[in-house]
Structure formats: structure tokens, C-alpha cells
Structure 1
């Protein structure tokens, strides 16, 4: 099996790779690809493979960036470096993105983590928000086709935590961050869901 290496270690914090750059490399891979770089680099490669219907046919390896807390957390959650190749669930959104480690919806504008915004959110059949909130966070669960969701209504107060397959949010204009990278526009609707029809193959 041929292995291609894709070096994205030069990405700055909070920056995702160019879609055109990712496509120019990933579309030519026919066996396996090893992604070198932070979490958004791996997410961008998986998103491109999904869009081109090449999951899980193309195995994906990952070499995280040293000293990056998100990389350490995701590598630990994935069990990187241990065991045989395995197929894992894929968490997607309705804008074509992939979520690997941590997603957040927060108020648009400055000092967003302290501002509140109106939101109604459902996690599967449970209503988890209905009114002003500070932020909504989502994390994939790698042991199941599920998401862990935390809704913070007031800063410094305990979050409401739930697990389930799909998170649907309708809200005032808000900012979305996928694995630390902000979406280039504000949103008023957002969905993250564990797609049980799609798997990607991790080459540990």
C-alpha cells in the first residue's frame, strides 16, 4: 500500500488549511495518507475524503504537533500509536465540516465567552437549551456514535451535560468554532451529528 505524507505543521493556532491545498494533495492519494499537523489539519483531510466518497478506503495516519494541548487530548482519546488499524465514527456538521475534538457555539462579537445569546437546542429528543446561554460545547465520543454536549447558561456555573447522536441549534447570530477554527460567518442554525453511515480508518 502506498503512503503519502501531508505536512501541515506550519498552520498557525486557530487556522485551518486551504480547501484547495487539501484537495490538491488528498485527491491524488490512492492508498494511505499520513497527516502531519494540528487537529484542524486532520479534520480538513477527513472532510475532503468524505466529500470525495473515499472513506474508509483511504487509511489515515496522524502525526500530531508537539506541545499542543488539543493534539494531546485527541491523540489520547483515539489511542494513537496503540493497536491495529480500526474504523471510527465521523462527526459532521451541515456545512460540510468534520469535528474531531471540540466544537463550540458562542455569542458573536468581542468577549464572546462572557456574553450570552438566545438559543434553543435539542440533543436527540431532549431540549437542552431554551433561552439565553453563554456557550454550547460538543465533543465526539470515540466509543460510540455519539456526542457529549455541555450547555453553559451562566459563566462559572455548572454546565448541563448530555450524550446523544445529534445536536440541533437555532439561535441569535453566533460564532462557531470547529476544533479551534472559527467559521468565516455567523450562523443562526447549526447541527452536529455522529453519522452512523460513515466510518474513517485510523492507521495508528
Structure 2
């Protein structure tokens, strides 16, 4: 069983029993002072995708990704992370998997302002030029650009560009990096809007993967 359960925000009040594992309440989207004293080779994060991203960011900053397994108990049934990696959203099943399951590597996505992306990134109402590696993914306008980690080990990102005013068109790209120059917009990472508009944005695959506890198939 994993050593510490970080119950983020309101998660502590709704968690199923965690057996002998210690549960530590922490704030939503916990920061350095909340997470670092509790870091363990085996962690479980209970909360939202944004909470998970905040904890993983601390592992990245402390250079502990390779040494730490991370289980996840999503409190939002619409969790993009749970959907992508087929994690249960039922609290009891999710806790059981997080505590007793095996970790398997998944791509960790970073941005160029020091953040990480675990489940879903979105760029709404884009006007600009975007590249997936060396391929032009967008030149002009798009309703949205959605980025997520790829399930294929050799890839990093899956990028979906939705364009068209009357008839929607979706173009899907895979790459290790996505780069955008655009009219100012607010990127959204794991449900959290960036604090200010940006006219350039990059998401790219980190050199180390995240050791996420997830089903084997």
C-alpha cells in the first residue's frame, strides 16, 4: 500500500477508508509549503486534475519523478485524467486501485512558463500560427485547440484543432511539442485559466514520464 494520501481541498470529507495509509488534508492546488514536507516514494492524490497537476509539479521541481509512484482518486467524475487513462471515478474503486495497483509510465507535458499538463489543455478562439514539431497545425483562426498526453509511448501530445464557422472541421496531430504564436488568449491547463493573456504558448513532452498507477489494460 502507498504511503501518503494527499486529500486536496474538500476531498478529505468524502474519501473512502484508506486502511493503514496516512491521510493528510492539504489545500486545493497545494503548493510547495503544503506538499514538500509530505513527499514520499508512494503518493496518492485525492482531488481534481488541477490538484494532481500541482502535486506533480512539486515532484518535477524536486527531481523526484523517477522515484515516486502516484495514485489518483478523482473527485470530479468528468476528470480528463481519469477518462484518458481509464481510471475509475467511483471513490471506493479509485482508492483501491490507487493503493494497490501498479504504476505504468505516462507522458508528462510541460509548458514554457513553468507549469505541467496532466489531462487536458485548451486554447479557446485562436487566431495565429501553430506547429506540431515541424508540421503546420494552424494558420489562421480556430474555434479551439485541445492538447492532451498521448496514449502511445513513442508520442508525446495529441493536438486537436477545431475550425470552421458554419461547418466544424477537426484536424488531429501527434507530436512531441506544440508551439503557438497568436493574438492574446488565455490558455487553460487542467481546468485552470492562466492568470494573464498570452501571445505565445508551448506545450511539450518532458524527458521523464510520470509513474501513474493505472489499470494494466
User: TM class by shorter-chain length?
Assistant: 0.7 to 0.9
Cα distance in 2 for residues equivalent to 1:71 and 1:190: 22
Q: SS where residue 198 of structure 1 aligns?
A: coil
1:202 and 1:94, CA in 2 relative to 1: closer, same or farther beyond 3 A?
same
Q: State the partner residue of 1:111.
A: none
* Contact in 2 for aligned 1:38/1:71 (Cα 8 Å): no
Provide the C-alpha distance between the structure 2 equivalents of 1:200 and 1:71, rounded to a whole number of angstroms: 12
Q: Distance in 2 between matches of 1:87 and 1:61?
A: 12
Counterpart selection for 1:87 from 105, 110, 114: 105
CA contact (8 A) 1:138 1:150 kept: yes
Matches within 5 A, 1:8-23: 8-10=8-10, 17-18=28-29, 21-23=30-32
Residue 88 of structure 1 and its aligned partner are, at CA, apart by 2.5
Q: More displaced, 143-152 or 118-127?
A: 143-152
What is the distance in 2 between the residues matched to 1:51 and 1:38? 20
Does the 8 Å CA contact 2:121/2:148 hold for their aligned counterparts?
yes
Q: 1:24 aligns with which of 27, 33, 36?
A: 33
| Higher helix proportion (structure 1 or 2) | 2
| 2:200 is equivalent to residue 182 of structure 1 | no
Secondary structure of 1:40's aligned partner? helix
Does the aligned pair in 1 maintain the 2:148–2:159 contact within 8 Å? yes
- Give the TM-score taking structure 1 as reference length: 0.81
Give 1:2 deviation, angstroms.
Answer: 6.7
How many residue pairs get matched?
A: 187
Name the structure 1 match of 2:15.
none
Q: Which of 1 and 2 has higher RCO (CA within 8 Å, sep 6+)?
A: 1
Is the CA contact (8 Å cut-off) linking 1:56 and 1:87 kept in structure 2? no
- Residue of structure 2 equivalent to 1:105: 123
Provide structure 1 residue ranges, at least 5 long, that are not aligned to the other structure.
Answer: 108-116
1:157 to 153, 168, 171: 168
Hey, what does 1:203 align to over in structure 2?
213
> Residue 170 of structure 1: CA displacement?
0.3
Gapped regions of structure 2 (runs ≥ 5)? 12-26, 89-93
